[in-house]
Chain A
């Protein structure tokens, strides 16, 4: 799960990680008030989940409260387009107003799971304020890494290594090691999946501050953290995906016009792939899961039918624990409530496949039966074109 920058900074503040003073506003009047309280130069930052906000015009410097109000007025409600939002952009509903910081140096600091070792890894780089993916690709040696042995935890020498490696001295050095250690506590205590401070700033008077903050969380661990779950911003998510998640369906909207409904994540991805290989484009990823029942299938089908870009639907089920007759019943139930106005191609294999096909054939729904995986995809692509 993702959260906004202002929310991440609230969490960091709780753990004693230094962040700029500031407040969040959803009106320009409130923005002005915060700027007045902060005094002096402030930064107005659009709060959307995507990165690259500065380049898109979502981050502005304001010399005083008047300017802060003006910038907030312009940014709030704007459709912000960045390299991460896609061409459609994202409407800005909140801005973060923060004190101006006297920056001496911009660095990078991040914490993430290293899947190869199964350990958390701290990453630091002098190349702050730029896209870290780019640094990793072009100059991997510029990123220092320290792995954490889970049984003993992070050791002080590792923190020192990173701080020295960043070229820090004196007070900034001491503050940085404390900063790293507190940040790691915030990561571990909240079951994060990623923390990125980019840039991590050293001020002219040797303070270490998280100028920006990004925190993602492990969906599997959200049950432990109600406070984090409450930070979920549904307006940042695709409405179809939100609807699907209510029914425990894994759904992701894509750009094509062939809808698909599949059991299992791997088979769902493979179904998308084979649609593409057959000359079509998948409209979505939809995994009805290993415990699909009539209701989940019905709800999944409704979501597909509400997407008007879809020109054909391919249902690909390999019954194991999920029985094909149950899936077929779900489709029949859905058809009673939603009009099916696109061709439906069904491939059922595995447990009770024959019974499932019979249920569909005896229903009033017009279906195209496919005997295998690639035939199903080819039919779907043909029918979507006609």
Chain B
């Protein structure tokens, strides 16, 4: 088992004929992900690499039974793409697109409220359940099947952590990049809860960064409800206030959201925190004994 996606996931790709979408579709198929449909408005009835393309997500779902969607459409159209998938009843939507206007995401956030769709991202690398499914842009070769969950706001820092775990002989159950934007669909807390309930996960590595208060909320959850060990790191200990560190969400505003505050909140909640991003693998091994 794992969380969110496995070998039974039937994926559709929104923006399958674009340059990003087509490149990563091939990579995902190569990894072994089951891709049942593509969606590009106006290109319905065509196909891409033997995958049927539909005009709407609804058509794709009705015809193929797709239950997850990955979005590669450009920023001005991405919010609409998320809502289209939710409207068609897709259970899991993973939005890779970077650069969606915040006020567009305010609407999406409202649209998804109370519904059954889980959104991961936007501005994220997606997820991997090693050996079963890769949805998004993470390099598949670094991940190995195993029992450690990984959740991160960053892309390449996730790869770094996964690589360290693999080198320590620790495989992963599922690795998820939740995205670097101010408004994202699933938080650390949401996914920690899924890992807590997952029989095949023994521990979770969470990689936060400066800005916002998602790490503090996660710490509250861990303290009150989580029984599995959590290993944490916060990127941006040396970041100056008021500067957007690449990710739109990674900014220390009004003196809030610093790495020091977050690391303290994590430690206070019993999370094993390291200041050293190259020590995540080792620390996890130590914690698991």
Q: Which residues of A contact B (CB under 8 A)?
A: 84, 113, 115-116, 118-120, 132-133, 136-137, 149-151, 188, 191, 193, 218-221, 223-224, 250, 252, 254, 262-270, 272-277, 281-282, 285, 287, 290, 318-321, 349-351, 372-374
Contact = CB atoms under 8 A, between A and B. Distances in A.
A132 B254 CA distance: 9
B86 interface: no
Interface in B184-243: 207, 209-210, 212-214, 217, 233, 235-240, 242-243
A274 B277 contact: yes
Nearest to A224: B101
Q: Describe B's contact surface by its main secondary structure.
A: loop
Contacts of B158: 266
Interface stretch (B2-10, B34-42, B54-62, B148-156): B148-156
B157 interface: yes
* Centre residue among B75, B156, B247 by max chain A CB count within 10 A: B156
Given A270-B235, A272-B238, A374 B276 contact: yes
Given A133-B254, A221-B102, A115 B213 contact: yes
Contacts of B155: 264, 266-267, 290, 320
B23 to A, nearest CB: 8
Contacts of B154: 264-267, 269-270
Given A115-B213, A265-B250, A269-B239, A218 B156 contact: no
Contacts of A351: 139, 141
14 contacts: A116-B217, A137-B255, A150-B107, A191-B101, A218-B102, A220-B248, A254-B240, A266-B153, A267-B157, A269-B245, A270-B160, A349-B160, A351-B141, A372-B278
A220 B157 contact: no
A177 to B, nearest CB: 23
A277 B254 contact: no
B71 to A, nearest CB: 15
Question: 4 shortest A-B CB distances, which residue pairs?
Answer: A266-B154, A265-B246, A264-B156, A266-B157
A350 B276 contact: no
Q: Give the bracket for the number of chain B residues in contact with chain A.
A: 35 or more
A116 B139 contact: no
B109 interface: yes
Nearest to B257: A115
Interface in B152-197: 152-160, 163, 180, 182-183
Contacts of B255: 133, 137
Nearest to A267: B156
Contacts, number: 176
A151 B110 CA distance: 7
Contacts of B249: 115
Contacts of B163: 318, 349-350
A319 B156 CA distance: 8
B106 interface: yes
Given A252-B240, A318-B160, 10 more contacts: A113-B102, A191-B102, A218-B248, A264-B156, A266-B156, A269-B154, A269-B239, A272-B238, A320-B139, A374-B276
Given A150-B110, A252-B243, A273 B139 contact: no
Given A270-B157, A350-B159, A223 B76 contact: yes
Contacts of A133: 254-255
B99 interface: yes
Contact of A320 (B156, B236, B238, B246): B156
Contacts of A277: 275-276
Nearest to A271: B277
Contacts of A132: 254
Contacts of B157: 264, 266-267, 269-270
Nearest to A281: B238
B183 A113 contact: yes
Given A266-B155, A319-B139, A276 B213 contact: no
Nearest to A282: B238
B100 interface: yes
Given A191-B101, A220-B75, A320-B155, A250 B246 contact: yes
Nearest to A149: B110
Nearest to A120: B106
B246 A188 contact: no
B43 to A, nearest CB: 24
A39 B156 CA distance: 60
A149, A191, A221, A372 interface centre (most CB from chain B within 10 Å): A221
B159 A273 contact: no
Contacts of A223: 75-76
B133 interface: no
B137 interface: yes
A373 B160 contact: yes
A261 B159 CA distance: 17
A266 B180 contact: yes
Interface in B239-273: 239-240, 242-250, 254-255, 259
